[in-house]
A and B are shown apart, each in its own frame.
Chain A
């Protein structure tokens, strides 16, 4: 029986899940049949790159068609760097996505308040936009103390982020620079 590497991993994964069989030299048909019944059956599979260190290991994300949530994330055997292997953090990726402590709605803390208050996206972004504009307009420097043209604000700063995708980093820097920020920093500096 010809097995692709990917199928081989699925089958051996099933074996690790407790299916009794005496070794890969045997007929794998029943195991394959069982594998089809696993909870990943029919799951959507997407490839990803691990979000922790910068080795750039590949992983496969299996998402349930029923509730749209992650069932499992495992190393991608066809990724040429990690060839299916993951470290302790990469192996725990599904716990990052499916985590009860994740933030799921915007929150606001008023001056002096003791607690967070849930708010809508619209309210939060409208209010932030007003704060940015007011602070920028009040602090904008066309010229520095020497009279040189600078067109900037030194009163708003940004830190972040190496956790963003390339495309997000690029528009973020374009956005910040269009506002005139010069205090733009992120993880690479520390």
Chain B
């Protein structure tokens, strides 16, 4: 989230799309309701009428997988009716920047497409630069090559009638939503978006979110209270685990994983593009300080200037190759992966095309499964239809303790790092995950010390002194390592920071090995003033908008609303005087921690040279409406899901995203517009279960409330297929089948796409054969496909084609 949970109350219009917050993030609704009580409006756009819809002022249904069409229509509406915030768009976004002649869009393809490689040459989308290397601009937004005009042209095709034919949303509903949301373009009004996996789990997932981000910048909603782009994340520490890079393409703090195109550390440190504009902070130019401090945190004294701070001890990925979830299980399915840690995860149920994952596990030599309960992954070798005698995989099942039995921090969706304490001791022989990792590390290091082995340097050089006096994992030691230390006396300005003291903020990190920091964005979280994440102050900030700056700690630098310098006018005064975030008092910023201490711009003609453009994380300092970085084009375009109910994309000549990854093995079968699978299937959660259900299915109350796998379908489809409410049916896709109890509701309605009637049905994804004890409830991911977004490679589990048949 650019903003945070409490801040939702400051919104004038809340759009919930790709989320059912009332049921899946129930406490968030406290603040949605508060916004409504303050006169705000709630809009819900979703294929299904949920409890979120029931609380909404406006509900509009749409067919799964058509969000870009829906939102592209909103961009057209905003531009046609001049409802954008012109001051903001001209001053703070890239709307005025000129795009080079290489950029083009035709027949659903951007320029630079290579059909063989299914990828784009992004250099075709470059901006025009002046003689000084600064982007050329047209502040009147009239130049045909300026981003604003290209945007206008691109979305001119997204007419209400065409959008309606694609989405199945009526033109009346579309316009009602557009009108209500576009009202937040007015000065002093804030609109926010709450989205979740309903947006990410598509072959166009990133572009779904980008379309909305573009709307937010057009309406001046980024950086303001009650605004922003807010991902409602699903696990208690998915934010923290992402920040700390349990992902193939990153190392902690959103730094790229070392790759073959940066063979030396010096290549890596030069990788970020420079900006020649003195007004662009281009914050990522500081990356060398963060990377070197990270290497010092990893390897301690063993990391020196002479050995590139241990850069060669980090594994390198092949440049351009993906090692993502889908790729990982494909490699395992082919038998090339022999050892596997499933640590606090249940891929036998959680992964798309889970049947393929289960087959893949049988090809492993060994698996280590760490969990609270026995589960479908660790026990795959005696799952339904599996003969244990034929499975050669050795499995180690290690009992972890629950969160209330250990100490440490987690980071919520609003980037708040919060400390929790140990209540009871771990049950039985269960142990904190940290303790298991530490002990296993000790044992592996001992083996390398004793026996040697392949390239032992990184194993033995790793700084691994995180035990307390009892030899157990000490979370405080790691939290301090993540924050970072001064490793020498370091003079910054007039102050000397002593060797061994904790670094107070990432502004003090160095690229010469004199500081360490395990994750630069967490620098400042645990300082000589104490553990900031453990703070509990009830005091709000002077602007009284619910920032609670001394309750827990938020990255970066305890900033609660990021891009907040875009919330003020050129003189530094809040554009919303009631719910202001920061303001310039003549000598400094007050309110939230500002996005940099630079003074206000004062004007666009001759900006104060000491100032900086507000979007400091982008190269040129502006919010990117034109996004040259994504793999599927600089403007989002509607493409159909891999499996869809229409023969052709009504918007353009490409049916599906031309760069989305597709696998061709037998286990990856897919079927589009196939009469055997006539209905759109989608997945969702219920309040009473969580994820694959492993932490809820073994609980009596929650299982009683939601006891079994079901399929939800409309009354119309039930009548057509003569399926009765409560009847057991079988759902099938090109990849598998799952038994479900039919729930016939008014919450799904057939979609009318022109003359075509399309039925959509929905499934919860919380079940698996191990719990409940009947063994009859299974995971819907046995039906979902092997494809995903070309940028994130998140699987497309929100839109696929299925059938339901009576048993």
Q: Do A and B bind each other?
A: yes
Interface size, chain B (Cβ < 8 Å): 165
Contact with B along A44-63 (1 / 0, CB 8 A): 10111111111111100111
Contact partner of B241 (CB less than 8 A), chosen from A62, A107, A179, A187, is A187
Whether the pair A56, B398 counts as a contact (CB closer than 8 A) is no
Nearest chain A CB to B413 CB, angstrom units:
4
Whether the pair A163, B237 counts as a contact (CB closer than 8 A) is yes
Asked if B516 is at the interface (CB within 8 A of a chain A CB), the reply is no
Nearest chain A CB to B366 CB, angstrom units:
5
- Bound: A65/B368 CA distance, A: 35
Write the chain B residue with the least CB distance to A164: B433
Contact with A along B527-559 (1 / 0, CB 8 A): 000000000101000000010100100000000
Write the chain A residue with the least CB distance to B332: A157
Asked if B430 is at the interface (CB within 8 A of a chain A CB), the reply is yes
A52-B690, A56-B418, A85-B27 in contact; A106/B397 too (CB < 8 A)?
A: yes
Write the chain A residue with the least CB distance to B428: A104
Whether the pair A102, B373 counts as a contact (CB closer than 8 A) is yes
- Bound: A92/B695 CA distance, A: 11
Whether the pair B260, A151 counts as a contact (CB closer than 8 A) is no
Nearest chain B CB to A72 CB, angstrom units:
10
Q: Is the interface of B mostly helix, strand, loop or mixed?
A: mixed
Asked if B180 is at the interface (CB within 8 A of a chain A CB), the reply is no
Asked if A12 is at the interface (CB within 8 A of a chain B CB), the reply is no
Nearest chain B CB to A128 CB, angstrom units:
6
Contact partner of A160 (CB less than 8 A), chosen from B246, B339, B366, B546, is B246
- Bound: A154/B705 CA distance, A: 43
Whether the pair A46, B432 counts as a contact (CB closer than 8 A) is no
Contact with A along B432-474 (1 / 0, CB 8 A): 1110111111011011100101110011011100100000010
A129-B447, A135-B365, A161-B345 in contact; A53/B234 too (CB < 8 A)?
A: yes
Asked if A109 is at the interface (CB within 8 A of a chain B CB), the reply is yes
Asked if A7 is at the interface (CB within 8 A of a chain B CB), the reply is no
Asked if B416 is at the interface (CB within 8 A of a chain A CB), the reply is yes
Q: Which residues of B contact A131 (CB under 8 A)?
A: 339, 365-366, 394
- Bound: A60/B440 CA distance, A: 32
Write the chain A residue with the least CB distance to B421: A46
- Bound: A101/B430 CA distance, A: 13
Interface segment, one of B168-176, B347-355, B755-763: B347-355
Whether the pair A189, B793 counts as a contact (CB closer than 8 A) is yes
Asked if A19 is at the interface (CB within 8 A of a chain B CB), the reply is no
Whether the pair A89, B433 counts as a contact (CB closer than 8 A) is no
A55-B5, A111-B393 in contact; A171/B466 too (CB < 8 A)?
A: yes
- Bound: A153/B244 CA distance, A: 21
Whether the pair A82, B30 counts as a contact (CB closer than 8 A) is yes
Within 8 A of B (CB), among A135-163: 135-137, 139-140, 142, 144, 146, 148-163
Nearest chain B CB to A110 CB, angstrom units:
6
Q: Which residues of A contact B6 (CB under 8 A)?
A: 80-81
Contact with A along B681-719 (1 / 0, CB 8 A): 000000111110001101111100100000000000000
Whether the pair A95, B404 counts as a contact (CB closer than 8 A) is no
Q: Which residues of B contact A144 (CB under 8 A)?
A: 260, 318
Contact partner of A132 (CB less than 8 A), chosen from B404, B444, B446, B688, is B444
- Bound: A166/B446 CA distance, A: 26
Nearest chain A CB to B314 CB, angstrom units:
6
Asked if B389 is at the interface (CB within 8 A of a chain A CB), the reply is yes
Whether the pair A53, B24 counts as a contact (CB closer than 8 A) is yes
Whether the pair A170, B30 counts as a contact (CB closer than 8 A) is no
Whether the pair A140, B454 counts as a contact (CB closer than 8 A) is yes
Nearest chain A CB to B586 CB, angstrom units:
31
Interface segment, one of A21-29, A30-38, A112-120: A112-120
A88-B687, A104-B399, A112-B391 in contact; A156/B462 too (CB < 8 A)?
A: no
Whether the pair B388, A171 counts as a contact (CB closer than 8 A) is no
Contact with A along B362-392 (1 / 0, CB 8 A): 0001101011111000000110000011111
Nearest chain B CB to A63 CB, angstrom units:
4
Asked if A15 is at the interface (CB within 8 A of a chain B CB), the reply is no
Nearest chain B CB to A133 CB, angstrom units:
5
Whether the pair B424, A69 counts as a contact (CB closer than 8 A) is yes
Write the chain B residue with the least CB distance to A130: B447
- Bound: A136/B443 CA distance, A: 15
Whether the pair A110, B394 counts as a contact (CB closer than 8 A) is yes
Nearest chain A CB to B199 CB, angstrom units:
14
Q: Which residues of B contact A184 (CB under 8 A)?
A: 245-248, 323
Query: A residues near B, CB below 8 A?
Result: 44, 46-58, 61-63, 68-70, 73, 78, 80-83, 85-90, 92-93, 95-97, 99, 101-114, 116, 121, 124-133, 135-137, 139-140, 142, 144, 146, 148-190
16 contacts between A and B (CB under 8 A): A53-B234, A69-B427, A87-B687, A95-B701, A96-B699, A103-B373, A103-B398, A110-B394, A112-B388, A128-B440, A131-B394, A148-B260, A163-B695, A173-B251, A182-B317, A187-B345
